[in-house]
Structure 1
């Protein structure tokens, strides 16, 4: 049997083994903790008993690195340094970098959804134009939080191109945003195919949002473009100034 180099519980270094069976724990306290874990395993996941606040602290450090330097720069050591914790703490809360990447992405998605729901609560849902405008605003860097999220998602997208396992999580099959936008567009009336229009709007706003991040367009210019298309879709769907319906170029 090979020597155990670190305590199985706290990961502290263990003294070199002499004769007999090598130690697995640094102290009786760690040995007792390991016994309790075997008797009462955490439910439902191995991370359930870990501190949510510390996990979020580490995830936020990953977000900052991804937004500033990309995911390739986010090594476990860099993340630990950014989070101002030891590498051992990061390894305790996440069983490897891939788990950390997925957990941080899930946290960011949940955070964005919570904030979006809070903002949507202030919108007049009986006005489909204002509701749709508010939905599309969620994909623009209108504040520091949404700017950070856009940069992090861009880093994840780039990584997903070369990481099939990450792509399977990041690029899911469903299209809930397009379905939501199509539902709102149905309330406009007079739109022959709301789902096709939704595909165009979502793809367009995603690209325009990244243009703002890169400085190619201003937020005011993008909002003017959104207003233009909402005017086009309202009522008959005719573009203002066009000679006949269906002649517009989007």
Structure 2
């Protein structure tokens, strides 16, 4: 049963009426918000086809997460960064948490699309070793877009440790990236006694860690690439 002494919108205390029915809102502002909510209910973004305004808001979340951390991504700060009002943000998304989850899903989708486009543009895309190396390099912050993306992902990953909804975006019952790397290792030809699936797990985890080192400028691009080539040479057959 609803608490009749609290506001239906903000849950704050409601003053008793001097006469007539007891009010259900603590102020005219909350009454107006309730009216707007009934007239224009929040519309949750369709992840596959966000509108231009929705994408503008999502990209604002990414910039804040990358530059200041996810804790700074309040509705007010997101609105300021996007150049819109807080009311616009609240209209397009059910709430801040809904927006954060959707922004993470869209980032994953955009990253996968860009990775496919870059790999498809390779000159020797039919060579399994070339494809394998290019696939693993997609985990590295080798340009501004991938550098920003990794910063955002890192900010989100920390929050996902205590947020099941965000964790579900990171954690899948399946492992599509590891499965792809396993298939490419097998296609490229392994040395004896090599377990392609185990090597795929190690390569994906290892390159992800090297990417963080690169982000912190603890290693150079050349050093990271030498390390990657060392491990590929270790598990793959010698090229003719």
Kindly state the Cα deviation for residue 182 of structure 1 after the two structures are TM-superposed: 0.1
Structure 1 residue 233 displacement after superposition: 1.8
Corresponding residue of 1:98: 97
- Cα offset, 1:187, TM superposition: 1.1
How do 1:135-154 and structure 2 match up within 5 A?
135-154=135-154
TM superposition shift of 1:51: 6.6
CA distance in 1, matches of 2:219, 2:45: 43
Structure 1, gaps ≥5 residues long: 12-23, 25-29, 238-250
- Counterpart of 2:139 in 1: which secondary structure? coil
CA distance in structure 1 between the aligned counterparts of 2:67 and 2:33, rounded to whole angstroms: 35
Higher relative CO (Cα under 8 Å, sequence separation at least 6) belongs to: 2
Alignment check: 8 A CA contact 1:188 1:233 kept: no
CA distance in 2, matches of 1:63, 1:206: 20
Match of 2:195 in 1: 193
Task: Give the unaligned 5+ runs of structure 2.
Answer: 1-22
The CA RMSD measured in Å over matched residues stands at 2.4
Q: Report the TM-score, using the length of structure 1 for normalisation.
A: 0.76
Aligned to 1:6: 32
- Tell me if the contact between 2:136 and 2:207 (Cα under 8 Å) persists in the aligned partners: yes
Question: Relative to structure 2, which stretch is displaced further, 161-170 or 78-87?
Answer: 161-170
Query: Which residue in 1 is equivalent to 2:113?
Result: 114
| Change in 2 beyond 3 A, CA 1:51/1:107 | closer
For 1:51 and 1:132, locate their aligned partners in 2 and report how far apart those are by CA, in whole Å: 32
Helix, strand or coil at the partner of 1:217: coil
Give the equivalent residue in structure 2 for 1:172: 172
Q: CA deviation at 1:172?
A: 2.4
Matches of 1:53 and 1:10 in 2, distance apart?
A: 23
- 1:185-221 Cα offsets, whole Å, 9 max, x none, are 0012234310000001000000000100011111111
> How many Å separate the matches in 2 of 1:235 and 1:128?
12
Give, in whole Å, the separation in 2 of the partners of 1:166 and 1:226: 30
> 1:55 aligns to what?
54
The answer (yes or no) to whether the contact 1:94–1:100 under 8 Å persists in 2 is yes
The answer as to whether partners of 1:156 and 1:170 remain within 8 angstroms in 2 is no
Mapping for residues 1-250 of structure 1, pairs under 5 Å: 2-3=24-25, 5-8=31-34, 10=36, 47=45, 52-123=51-122, 124-191=124-191, 192-235=194-237
Give how far 1:73 is off. 1.1
